[in-house]
Amino acid sequence: MAEYQYVAQDGAGKKVEGRLEANNEGELRMLLRSKGLRPTRISKVALGQMDVGATLKRMMGGAASLPPDRLMNFVKQLQTMISSGVPLVQAIELFLDQESHPYMKMILTTFRDRLNGGSFLWECMSAYPDVFERVFVALVRAGESSGTLDVMLKRSGKYLENSYRLRRLIKSSMNYPIIVTAIAVGVITLMLTLVIPKFEEMIVSGGGELPLPTKFVIDLSHGLINHFFTIVLALGAGVYLIRQYVKTDEGKAVLQNIAMKLPVMGPLIIQSGVARFARTMGTLLSSGVPIVDALEICKDAASHIAYEDAIGLMKREVELGASFSNAMLRQQALFPKMAVQMTVVGENTGNMDKMLEKVADFYEEEVETSIQGMLKLIEPFMLVFMGGIVGGLLIAMYLPIFQMAGNTGN
């Protein structure tokens, strides 16, 4: 994918300049026309004008990133400046002078250049989909079109806060079992490589037939010591291959479908999926985005492939004339009855955006409650699991000692 610099005219004949990535010039022209722009000049960006860091990261398969808290601070401060009457370009200039994060500085520099060239803020943001989600861009576009950019930035900031809080909550729930598992693996490895060999010297010197559990533990210790680096390399390669597979569409689908069927994880995925959908949909509808466009954006913003498919089907049904609540009802496997009923009430009273936000609030609280309950269940299970393995290893090594003590007593 190459980066192109373009000059175009909008529907009013106003000159618009900017940069976009596309596979070829024809694809870029189609992209510009879909935005209502008529390109007059297109040229590839010279190597010296490219952002070298971002280009290298793309070539290596990675992407530049921006901390969520920095993005939220930027949105809040920009909203404050716009509502105080500071011109947009001047506000961006002020941010640029104070910014220290290299990627954000590059983004702000691009914003300044494109805004001076006649581009809209939403067009500038759409060039960085890794930072600004489609939901965010749609809200800013609605704000610029209606002259209420400060109001939309405030809603965008609130949406970002809620979305980030939900993601952080789900990620934090996974940290505890991962940390405990890593500690357990480390303790077991140290016991098999350092502690068990010391026991073995003492047990073998005493002679006699070794119990079967003791033989198993000693063989396990020998295997780990003799093939330690091979095992580490094999595990590292396995983790790397699994991570690469999960990054593909097929791997992502397989992993998410497995997670959906798990006893505790499945309900949590549904609760978080409903909360994210309701929050995104409610925010978009309250900002004046048409329902079909809002569903398309929600589909792209969905974090689970099952919700992507379900929202896509809902969008088709709404386009064919079905009501929003009926379309949601047909996806009852992913949308609980209560969420559908609240949506029906909102649709009948003409307050669907507000009702969806209430649905989001409710299910976000449900996610928090479920995570706290899950952690309470995981904690004793992990402790018993870890204690059982360590205790089993020690008992297996003490069995010959008890046996020898019994023989001596007899």
Residue spans of the domains in the chain: they are 1-50, 266-360
Q: What is the pLDDT of residue 319?
A: 92
How far, rounded to the nearest angstrom, does the alpha carbon of residue 48 sit from its chain's CA centroid?
A: 33
Neighbouring residues of 344: CB distance < 8 A, sequence distance ≥ 6: 325
Q: Percent of the chain at pLDDT above 90? A: 6
What separation in angstroms does the CA of 397 have from each of 192, 199, 203, 217, 384?
11, 7, 8, 8, 20
66-112 residue pLDDT tens:
788 888 888 888 888 888 888 888 999 888 888 888 888 888 888 88
Strands (E), 11-131: 15-22, 38-44
Residue with structure tokens 């033989």?
215
Q: Are 291 and 285 a contacting pair, CB within 8 Å? A: yes
For residues 270 and 338, give the distance between their C-alpha atoms in angstroms, rounded to a whole number.
13
Q: Do domains 1-50 and 266-360 have the same CATH topology?
A: no
For residues 329 and 324, give the distance between their C-alpha atoms in angstroms, rounded to a whole number.
9
pLDDT at 229 over 60: yes
Q: What is the pLDDT of residue 44?
A: 73
Reported pTM: 0.65
Choice among 85-89, 146-150, 323-327 with the minimum mean pLDDT: 146-150
355-377 residue pLDDT tens:
998 998 898 888 888 887 777 77
Using 50, 70 and 90 to split pLDDT, how confident is the model at 315?
very high
DSSP 387: H
- Region 384-407: mean pLDDT is 79
Which CATH architecture is the domain 1-50 placed in? Roll (3.10)
Q: What is the pLDDT of residue 63?
A: 46
Q: What is the pLDDT of residue 48?
A: 42
> What is the dihedral angle through the alpha carbons of 134, 140, 143, 144, rounded to the nearest 10 degrees?
-120
CATH class in words for 266-360:
mainly alpha
> Could you give the angle at the alpha carbon of 53 between the alpha carbons of 48 and 54, nearest 5°?
95
For residues 300 and 288, give the distance between their C-alpha atoms in angstroms, rounded to a whole number.
19
Q: Which of 63-72, 178-187, 215-224, 375-384 is most confident?
A: 215-224
Count helices and strands in the chain by DSSP H and E runs: 18, 3
